[in-house]
């Protein structure tokens, strides 16, 4: 992987946004792999001015994951977050940006449907990734198979506590999610993993330099030929 250590998250956001702009200029119907959570927000913020004046009407997107059993119009559903943070500010066509369907009705085929949609789009060109403090990417928690495809998973207590800040209390954080698998993520043509702050230092070191192990799902990126890791000093602190 190419490791880029930057002074702050805003610098990282600018770098990754520049890369996305290059991609969209070269390929107006580029397929972006979108992440939620706090980490990618500086990328989306940096994209807004950079994409002004560029035709984004054909840009497509696939989110990594969604909570299961949350109302689609709940402000913290990833469908809502992706629309609020990405689709609306960047002026993307909402019909071209998909989020896994976490509604209970039809959940048994939602994973397969999502895989087929990604395939029909020709695959993801650039996948933005954050990493959980427990090393998850997407919501592939420790123990996830490297060949896994989009499916329903149980969130760890650690992840539910980490995400409680988005809800009134930890009890309101859903217990299940539907997430692209590690196998799905590895099919994207370029992986861009971002991490900021000391809380991510162990996960970053494990993902980049640790043994490739299902105990640290982020280590799956070592199996991919084109990975860029963009981190601040604090998140890089445990790299050798």
Active site members: 65, 134, 136, 141
The least CB distance from residue 137 to ligand F6R, in Å, is 5
Report the residue number, 5 or 54, with the smaller CB distance to ligand F6R: 5
Which of 37, 89, 123, 183 touches ligand F6R by CB under 6 A?
A: 37
Those residues with Cβ within 8 angstroms of residue 106's Cβ, 6 or more apart along the chain or in another chain: none
CB of 115 to ligand F6R, least distance (A): 17
Tell me which residue of 14, 92, 10, 106 sits closest to 58, measured CA to CA.
92
Q: What is each CA distance from 20 to 33, 35, 191, 208, in whole angstroms?
A: 11, 14, 12, 22
How many residues bind ligand F6R (CB under 6 A)? The answer is 14
Closest approach of ligand F6R to the CB of residue 130, in Å: 2
Of 66, 24, 28, which is closest to residue 180 (Cα–Cα)?
A: 66
Q: Under rule CB under 6 A, which residues in 106-135 are in contact with ligand F6R?
A: 130-132
Residue nearest to ligand F6R (CB): 130
Q: Which is nearer to ligand F6R, 54 or 166 (CB)?
A: 166
Measured CA to CA in angstroms, residue 184 lies from 5, 55, 98, 124, 230 at distances of 27, 28, 15, 9, 21
Structure tokens at 80: 């809502």
What backbone phi and psi angles, to 5 degrees, belong to 156?
-75, 160
- Which range touches ligand F6R (CB under 6 A), out of 35-43, 185-193, 207-215, 222-230? 35-43
CB pairs under 8 A, 24+ apart, for 115-121?
Answer: 115/149, 115/150, 115/184, 117/62, 118/31, 118/62, 118/180, 118/184, 118/187, 121/31, 121/60, 121/62
- Span interacting with ligand F6R, options 33-41, 50-58, 85-93, 117-125, rule CB under 6 A: 33-41
Work out which of 60, 136, 151, 153 binds ligand F6R, going by CB under 6 A: 136
Out of 96, 139, 204, 236, the only residue in the binding site for ligand F6R (CB under 6 A) is 139
Closest separation in Å from C-beta 190 to ligand F6R: 17
Please choose, from the candidates 229, 237, 139, 134, the residue with its C-alpha nearest in 3D space to the C-alpha of residue 184: 139
Nearer to ligand F6R, 41 or 96 (CB): 41
Residue closer to ligand F6R, measured from CB, 42 or 210? 42
Beta bridge partners of 194: 230
Site for ligand F6R in 63-92 (CB under 6 A): 64-65
* Closest approach of ligand F6R to the CB of residue 221, in Å: 12
Per CB under 6 A, residues contacting ligand F6R are 35-39, 64-65, 130-132, 136-139
């Amino acid at each position: 992987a190419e490791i880029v250590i930057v002074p702050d998250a805003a610098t990282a956001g600018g770098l990754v946004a520049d890369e996305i702009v290059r991609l969209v200029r070269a390929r107006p119907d580029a397929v972006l792999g979108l992440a939620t959570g706090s980490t990618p927000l500086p990328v989306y913020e940096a994209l807004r001015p950079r994409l002004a004046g560029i035709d984004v009407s054909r840009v497509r997107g696939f989110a990594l994951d969604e909570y299961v059993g949350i109302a689609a119009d709940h402000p913290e559903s990833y469908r809502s977050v992706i629309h609020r943070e990405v689709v609306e500010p960047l002026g993307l066509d909402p019909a071209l940006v998909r989020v896994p369907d976490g509604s209970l009705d039809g959940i048994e085929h939602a994973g397969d449907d999502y895989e087929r949609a990604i395939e029909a789009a020709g695959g993801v060109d650039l996948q933005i990734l954050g990493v959980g403090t427990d090393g998850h990417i997407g919501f592939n928690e420790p123990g996830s198979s490297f060949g896994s495809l989009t499916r329903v998973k149980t969130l760890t207590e650690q992840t539910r506590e980490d995400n409680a800040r988005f809800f009134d209390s930890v009890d309101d954080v859903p217990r299940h999610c539907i997430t692209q698998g590690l196998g799905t993520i590895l099919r994207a043509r370029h992986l861009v993993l971002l991490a900021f702050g000391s809380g991510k230092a162990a996960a970053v070191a494990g993902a980049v330099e640790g043994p490739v192990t299902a105990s640290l799902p982020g280590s799956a990126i070592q199996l991919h030929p084109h990975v860029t890791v963009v981190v601040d000093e604090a998140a890089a602190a445990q790299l050798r």
